[in-house]
């Protein structure tokens, strides 16, 4: 009696040790080593290619738990479905859509809701990407750093009876294809990004200006842009409702955004040092830093959200708290690995210089982000 499970359902369970299933990944070892399902808690996961499972069924069955749910995973859901049907046990289920579907799964979590205004964090769990929606019920809403799929943002707008009027990118993304322009095209919203990151863009955009303010319904929801260069020249943080600071990849809940993706590591590292110790340090330290990425689900809070007070980050993060510019730059230069080879193509896509077909798009976005540098 085989069955299946959606990626949305799986995403809500992998952070809970009591509910996390056993995972049997039947892809090749190379595909598994490149990218796999991960949670906040260590998962019980085995990688046995589907041809081995089918050829050595009896011995494989002996390794699977009898009284616990087993989720079988492959690239697209086909091979895993065949394995599940062959095993035919009620506790063994197929992951619908496989890793393709997992790659684009967004989990919404509310950061703040006063009954009128709201701030929602969307977690793309497969890649460690975070995006946001801020707005007021019955009025308007903005989407920040959209990725993966339009549907969750559109569904939230419908639920809140709002109109999406702005789509922001805090910077030129290199690890994933931005959906900011698609959000704008679908809804009639204005796409906004700093000119410093989009000078060569082959599309129209509204340039973000330092200090610019945007309102969405109630006055409680005011977005103020703050130039925070370093990860990229045009990186811009958005202060929301006097409570949150959407920092993009400038700083994370742990560590900083790598400043080497434009090939100017030392100058950009100096810009980032100034951003931290001049711009961010001058803001309200009670603001909650809400970044565009994270390295591990272990960084999340008990409710699954990811954020950290600016004051705590400035004081206690081993890199952010470094006060000597030369030491900061030297550390950055010495500890950066080589960025993934596809990042250059992703930047081209996000500037409109490259139009990928669906298969290329899928290949570009395989794997978790590697945007952070942390100790």
Q: Is 74 a catalytic residue?
A: yes
Residue 356 C-alpha from the chain's centroid: 21
Element (H, E) at 98: helix 98-103
Per the CB < 8 A criterion, the answer to whether 359 and 296 are in contact is no
DSSP string, 113-159: E-SSEEEEEEEETTTTEEEEEEEETTSEEEEES-BS-SHHHHHHHHH
User: 74, 129, 290, 371: which one is catalytic?
Assistant: 74
What gap in Å lies between CA 53 and CA 40, rounded to an integer? 28
What is the residue-wise DSSP string for 326-364? HHHHHHHHHH--PPPTTHHHHHHHHHTS----HHHHHHH
Contacts of residue 41, defined as CB under 8 A and 6 or more positions apart, other chains included, come to 14, 15, 16, 17, 20
Give the whole-angstrom CA distance, residue 244 versus residue 22: 36
Q: Is 263 left (phi over 0), alpha (psi -120 to 50) or beta?
A: left
At what angle are helices 151-159 and 180-187 packed, to 10 degrees?
A: 50
Cα gap 341→318, rounded to integer Å: 28
92 DSSP β-pair partners: 70
**SS3 state of residue 366:** coil
Query: What are the catalytic residues?
Result: 74
């Amino acid at each position: 009696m085989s069955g299946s499970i959606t990626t949305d359902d799986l995403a809500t369970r992998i952070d809970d040790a009591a509910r996390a299933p056993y995972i049997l990944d039947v892809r090749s070892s190379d595909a598994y080593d490149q990218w796999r399902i991960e949670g906040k808690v260590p998962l019980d996961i085995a990688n046995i290619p589907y041809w081995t499972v089918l050829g050595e069924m009896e011995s494989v069955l002996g390794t699977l738990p009898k009284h616990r749910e087993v989720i079988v995973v492959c690239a697209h859901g086909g091979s895993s479905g065949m394995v599940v049907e062959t095993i035919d046990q009620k506790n063994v289920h197929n992951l619908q859509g496989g890793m393709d579907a997992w790659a684009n799964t967004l989990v919404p979590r509310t950061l703040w809701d006063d009954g009128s205004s709201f701030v929602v964090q969307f977690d793309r769990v497969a890649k460690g990407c975070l995006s946001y929606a801020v707005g007021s019920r019955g009025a308007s809403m903005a989407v920040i750093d959209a990725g993966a799929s339009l549907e969750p943002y559109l569904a939230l707008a419908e639920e809140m009876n709002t109109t999406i009027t702005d789509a922001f990118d805090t910077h030129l993304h290199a690890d994933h294809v931005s959906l900011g322009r698609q959000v704008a095209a679908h809804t009639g919203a204005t796409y906004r990004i700093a000119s410093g990151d989009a000078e060569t863009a082959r599309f129209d955009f509204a340039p973000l200006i330092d200090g610019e303010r945007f309102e969405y319904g109630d006055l409680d929801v005011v977005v103020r842009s703050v130039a925070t260069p370093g990860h990229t020249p045009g990186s811009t943080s958005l202060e929301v409702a006097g409570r949150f600071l959407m920092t993009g990849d400038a700083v994370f809940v742990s560590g900083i955004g790598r400043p080497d993706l434009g090939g100017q590591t030392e100058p950009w590292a100096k810009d980032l040092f100034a951003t931290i110790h001049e711009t961010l340090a001058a803001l309200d330290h009670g603001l909650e830093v809400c970044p565009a990425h994270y390295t591990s689900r272990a960084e999340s809070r008990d409710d699954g959200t990811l954020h950290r007070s600016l004051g705590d980050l400035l004081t206690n993060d081993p890199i952010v708290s470094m006060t000597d510019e030369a030491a900061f730059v030297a550390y950055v230069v010495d500890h950066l690995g080589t960025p993934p080879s596809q990042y250059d193509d992703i930047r081209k896509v996000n500037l409109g210089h490259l139009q990928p077909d669906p298969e290329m798009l899928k290949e570009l976005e395989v794997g978790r982000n590697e945007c952070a540098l942390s100790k």
